[in-house]
Structure 1
Amino acid sequence: MLQKLMWVGIWLAFMGAPIGDLLDGNHTTVPTVLGWLGLAGFVTVYLALVLRHTARPMATATVYGLLGFLAVLALTLSLTLGSPWLVLFVYVSVSCGATLSLALASWAILVTTATMTVIGTHTAHVADVVPDLVIPTLLGGFAMTGVRHLIRTSVELREARATVAQLATNEERLRMARDLHDLLGHSLSLITLKSELAGRMLPGHPEQAAKEVADIEQVGRQALADVRAAVSGYRRMTLPAELAGARTVLNAAGIQADVPTEAPGGLPAAEEEVLAWVLREAATNVVRHSGARHCTVTLDVCQTLDGRFLELRVRDDGRPRPGAPAPDPGHGLTGLRERLEKVSGVLETEAGRKGFTLTARIPLIPDASGIPLVSGP
């Protein structure tokens, strides 16, 4: 609104001529008072028409009526008070450009300029009227036509973007609904049928009922696995969420957790998701296999001979508990290495008397040097 007012207010600089004419005392008391009233009414209608119509179009009859009022007032004041009031036709031209269609505005601007020129030839020297008023009247009107078209285009673009976003949201909802229906429709129907069958068999055939119950359990587990797989595709893992999750799971296991509260910004989605997986797997292994009392997680930007890297390090002070199951290499460290290789990253592990350390590094592109340094509190 302020920018629009500034743009429209630029043209008020031409009001210096009629204001100066009133202040110079060139007229008697009655014409001076009527001139001030006419000027105030003209400016009020002009601002209301231009500012309101560019934001929210008025009714066609209202626009025509206000434009007619401005034209009549400019004509009357110019004929009665003299050539300084010819500048009012500049505002009539600007108003036409701001409110009328392009074709109609072009004709209205030309007619307004011609009318002002004709009146000017009778009230002032032609050499003063043509360069000083005709050019501003034409430029002001057509410039406002362009501004109005730009405003309309911007509004339509915002509306189109909102429509596209809404359509994308609706399409995603439909996709999720289709996927859930495909995943659960058959499984839930089968569970319902087998539950009814087991209920009928239970009094007289307990062994067959138990078989049906076992089938129900199997179908339920498969449906749960399908839902988890589908949800993992909808929801991308992020570092901030996994940092909070690691802190929670470590504390719940009675392990003192030293975990950063913030993650680096500006990371590509693929790299961030890989580091989130590494952190989740590392925290799980600490809880399940280490027997540690303390675990430290750090995120640092480091410089090596091969370039700059973002390094995630998970260090614990525990030792494997006797009889504790070993991590499954297919879903553990081997899986993490495969994920890191997809983003040109590396995984290092170090087992010692004072605990286990897992380090993951991913390269940073040259223009990502502004990534903030994040470390544990």
Structure 2
Amino acid sequence: MARAPENRRQALVKLAWVGIWLIYLGAPVDDLVHGHHAVAVTVVAALGLAAFVVAYLALVFLRTNTGERPERWVYGILAAQTALSLVLSAALGKNWLVLFVYVAVACGAALPAKESRWAVPAVTALLAAVGAWQDTGADLYPALLIPSLLGGFAMVGVKQLVRTMRELREARETVAHLAATEERLRLARDLHDLLGHSLSLITLKSELAGRMLPDRPQDAAQQVADIEKVSRQALVDVREAVSGYRRPTLAAELAAARGALASAGIAARLPAAERPAGLGSQGEGALAWALREAVTNVVRHSGAATCVVALRVEDGLATLTVSDDGRGPVADQRSGNGLTGLTERLILAGGTLDTGRSGDGGFRLTATVPADPAPVGADRRGGGG
């Protein structure tokens, strides 16, 4: 309705729908056939009626339902329709008053709401004036006033409904696109964090196995066994990440961090491997990802001899701090993909990420998330993910 068809099928459906309402032009057609007018008058009137119908169809098919101001030809067609209605009804009688109803409907369909609000009543008022003059018996034109008003304003409402439905459809497509984008970002973050940690550990253990192989084959075999174990776990983690069920726990990540730091020859001071009281599963998952990323960076880049992990919950906030005594942050160094993804994770959990130089001159990472005491019991009963 009030929208240009986009293909032949839509054009045929719209023509059939509009054609149903053209049946009300039966009164003018009957007057042409049985009105006993002169031949010249009948021919001119028939041409005028044909021009009126063509103009009406042009508005219905070509005027799109947009919030933009109508083109000049729209106003020209409406003015021509009004003039034809006035001339034909004034010259040929009350049977032609129905043309004003079509003009009112066309105004409602083709004009913006602000303009149609006065255009429809104006056309109806013109119908009332001409009808009072032509239909002295007052048996026809009063019955056309209500259809003129209702038809015109109904088109305004239908046009607004169509516009709203179109906006809702576009909004739904936008939401679907955003959801797909967020899922791609989630998968990219998970794979980066999972594989970065696992591959770093595999690299370390491979180097250890290579150094042990000539003189300590049994120790080298143990490192190879650890490599196989890490590889299998990485495969499981990737499958869970792709399926959307991956949520690490602090206990698992602390155990993994202890092993990774030991393999790298870095002395570690870690808290107890349990979830602190007052920390929900979502916050635990975010801090677990932060711990994994921080330890991976310590192992790969820091050159540190000691790594300290602290975890506390106070004042409604859970804070994880990972610091080392290595090289420390480099001036003007941009954050890598890992820290960027970690920042996004913490933001989704309502938390923040802060990095800087530690007290020992190394690197410090601090992740903070809101603590939620209410669901702790439920989280402990339901597991950490």
TM-score relative to the length of structure 1: 0.54
Aligned-partner SS, 2:193: helix
2:195 to 169, 184, 187: 184
Question: In 2 relative to 1, CA 182–154 (structure 1 residues): closer, same or farther, beyond 3 Å?
Answer: same
Cα deviation code 1:217-250 (max 9, x no counterpart): 3321221122233345569xxxxxxxxxxxxxxx
Equivalences for residues 196-275 of structure 1 within 5 A: 201=211, 207=217, 213-233=224-244
- Correspondence for 1:47: 57
RMSD in angstroms over aligned alpha carbons? 3.3
Amino acid at match of 1:218: K
Deviation, 1:64, is: 2.2
In structure 2, stretches of 5+ residues that fail to align are: 1-9, 247-385
Name the counterpart of 1:21. Answer: 31
2:192 maps to a residue whose letter is H
Q: For each residue in 1:142-173, what CA deviation from the matched residue of structure 2 results, as whole angstroms up to 9, or x when unmatched?
A: 12222222222222222222222222222222
Higher relative contact order (CA 8 A, sep 6+): 2
Alpha-carbon distance in structure 1 between the residues aligned to 2:87 and 2:109: 23
Corresponding residue of 2:150: 139
- What's the offset of the Cα at 1:92? 0.5
CA drift of 1:15 comes to 0.3
Report the Cα distance in structure 2 between the residues aligned to 1:8 and 1:58, rounded to whole angstroms: 24
Task: Give the 3-state SS of the residue equivalent to 2:37 in structure 1.
Answer: coil
Which residue of 23, 36, 40 maps to 1:30?
A: 40
Distance 2:174 2:190 in 1: 24
1:97, 1:142 within 8 Å by CA — same for their partners in 2?
yes
State the one-letter code of the partner of 1:101. Answer: P
1:68 to 2:68 alignment: no
Report Cα offsets for 1:66-121 as digits up to 9, x if no partner: 32232222223223333322211100100111122223212001110111222223
Q: Which residue of 2 aligns with 1:300?
A: none
Residues 39/169 of structure 1: CA separation in 2 closer, same or farther (3 Å cut): same
Q: How many residues align?
A: 235
1:139-178 matches, cutoff 5 A:
139-178=150-189
Distance between the aligned counterparts of 2:17 and 2:203, measured in 1? 69
Contact 1:187 1:223 in 2 (8 A): yes
Deviation at 1:23, TM superposition (A): 0.7
**What's the offset of the Cα at 1:182?**
2.3
Q: Which 10-residue stretch deviates more, 102-111 or 216-225?
A: 216-225
**Residue matched to 2:121:** 110
- Residue 183 (structure 1) shift: 1.7
Contact residue 117 and residue 129 of structure 1 kept, 8 A: no
Q: Is the 8 A contact 1:195 1:212 kept in 2?
A: yes
Distance 1:81 1:205 in 2: 116
SS at match of 2:36: coil
Tell me by how many angstroms 1:58 deviates: 8.1
Contact 2:198 2:231 in 1 (8 A): yes
Code of the residue aligned with 1:133 in structure 2: it is L
Cα separation, 2, equivalents of 1:83 and 1:75: 11
TM-score if structure 2 supplies the norm length?
0.53
Q: Shift of residue 184 of structure 1? A: 1.6
Q: Which runs of 5+ in 1 are unaligned?
A: 236-377
Q: Helix, strand or coil: the match of 1:127?
A: coil
* Residues 66 and 163 in structure 2, CA contact (< 8 A), matched pair in contact too: no
Amino acid in structure 2 at the alignment position of 1:221? R
Letter in 2 for 1:21: D
User: 1: CA distance between counterparts of 2:83 and 2:93?
Assistant: 15
Q: Cα deviations across residues 313-332 of structure 1 (Å, max 9, x unaligned)?
A: xxxxxxxxxxxxxxxxxxxx
Is 1:128 aligned to residue 139 of structure 2? yes
Deviation at 1:135, TM superposition (A): 1.8
* 1:120 and 1:126 in contact (8 A); partners too: no
1:204 deviates by 6.9
Q: How far apart are the structure 2 equivalents of 1:132 and 1:176? A: 66
What is the alpha-carbon distance in structure 2 between the residues aligned to residue 162 and residue 24 of structure 1? 56
Relative to structure 1, the CA distance from residue 142 to residue 67 in structure 2 (aligned partners, 3 Å threshold; closer, same or farther) is: same
Seen in structure 2, the aligned counterparts of structure 1 residues 58 and 12 have a Cα distance that, compared at 3 Å, is farther
CA distance in 1, matches of 2:112, 2:69: 13
Over 3 Å counting, the alpha-carbon distance change for 1:107 and 1:140 in structure 2 is same
Look up the equivalent residue of 2:42 and give its one-letter code: T
Do the aligned partners of residues 105 and 152 (structure 1) sit closer, same or farther apart at CA in structure 2, a change above 3 Å counting?
Answer: same
Q: For the structure 1 residues 206 and 73, does the alpha-carbon distance in structure 2 shift closer, same or farther, using more than 3 Å as the test?
A: farther
Give the residue type in structure 1 aligned to 2:174: T
